[in-house]
Structure formats: C-alpha cells, structure tokens
Structure 1
C-alpha cells in the first residue's frame, strides 16, 4: 500500500490503479463502495469507475481501519463518521477563530484611531 504522499497528482484513477495504490484487489474496492457511503467513485460515460484522489485516500483509511487496526466493517464505519464529525468541528472552530481575529483587528484599529482623535483634541485645548 502506498502512503498518501505517493498518490500521483492526477484528477482521476481507474479502479485497477486505485486498487494497486491501496494494496487490495478490485473486487474489494467494489465491496467497500457498498459498505462505506463516503467511498463513491464517479462513473465515466462508458460506466467505468473513476476514483478521485479523495476516494483513494478514503480507501486507504478504510484499509488501515480494517486490516491494521482490526476494526469490523461497522466499527470502521463508526470511526469514519466520528472522524468526519471531528473534522467538521475543527473547521467550524477554525472559521470562528478567523472571524474573531478579523473582528479583533478591526476593533484594535478603531481604538487606535479613537486614541489619536483624543490626542488631537487634547492638543488643541
């Protein structure tokens, strides 16, 4: 199995390429598609599966959970749902932090301009 950094920078992979990178047989990927909702490769015009980089990464994570960590299918599903939920929470926190930082910067700028205005008024008195 390749690691995430070794996935080629391509837009799409055929099922054979994806299976080779993940280190499983093609039928295993097809089975995982039926068991894991997050593994949903597109289909080409001629009906062939087309895996994105994200699909390959997802399949690698599924393999790690099932083969290395010895999760059951249901356990792996649960772990992936939990991971997805955690990522969403982190992204939400990050966005909130960015908004707060921008608000704080704006408030500091406004306070600085008020201090300058007060200084000018004091000097004119």
Structure 2
C-alpha cells in the first residue's frame, strides 16, 4: 500500500509526477529538471500540463537515479551513456530492415517467376 492509504497502481499503469516522486523518493522539481536534461524522458502531457509517466519513463527515471546517486555518474555522463546505448540499436535496426527488404525482394522474384512459368 502507498503511504497515502490508496492502493498501489498496477506496474503498467501511468503515474503522475506526484506518484512517481513518492515512489522514487525524488522531489518533483528534480523530475522536471531531468526532463530538460534527458531527451529520452518525455512523459505524456495532458490538459493543464499534467504529466503522465509511462512504465518505460518510470524505469528510465529509476535508472537515471541509480546512475547519478549510486554509481557516481554526472549528468553529462548519464547523457552520454544513454545516447551511446541508442546508437547500436539504430544500426541493428538498419540491418534488420535491409534483411527484411532482401527477403521481400526474393519473394517478389519467386512470385514473378511462378507467374511467368
């Protein structure tokens, strides 16, 4: 149970900034500051600029918190680490797309040969 007496949300539920602040132990102003420093952290904003953190945002906040407060990273160090992680994924994605296109081309050629024969 949460300290407010309200039942805890499901793991996949969106969190408000207040809920995330309570769960993480981080002040709300720190969470808002991190949004300006980490482009990966982009909670949904609804009417009235109310923030809703998705489960992946919550995981990222916890990861940033661990890196900064337990592993000795600086803000710049966390920024660099997070941006480096995205580069291999992007390259891998390009290879996957190329492989899928090759399969598509092979299938198109086989269909064309089958229709001609």
Quick check: which has more Rg, 1 or 2? 1
Residue 41 of structure 2 is matched in structure 1 by 39
Q: CA deviation at 1:74?
A: 0.3
Indicate if the aligned counterparts of 2:15 and 2:52 stay in contact, CA closer than 8 A.
Answer: yes
The more displaced of 41-50 and 84-93 is: 41-50
Task: Return closer, same or farther for 1:90/1:108 CA change in 2, 3 Å cut-off.
Answer: same
The aligned length equals 109
Change (3 A) 1:69 1:109: farther
2:61 maps to 59
Helix, strand or coil for the counterpart of 1:50? Answer: strand
| Separation of aligned partners in 2, 1:42 and 1:65 | 24
For residue 31 of structure 1, give the secondary structure of its aligned residue in structure 2. helix
**Structure 1 residue matching 2:49: 3-state secondary structure:** coil
Q: Secondary structure at the match of 2:48?
A: coil
TM-score, length of structure 1 as denominator length: 0.64
* TM score, norm. by length of structure 2: 0.68
For structure 2, which runs of at least 5 residues remain unmatched after alignment?
A: 1-9
Match of 2:12 in 1: 9
> What pairs up with 1:1-125 in 2 under 5 angstroms?
8-10=11-13, 12-107=14-109, 113=114
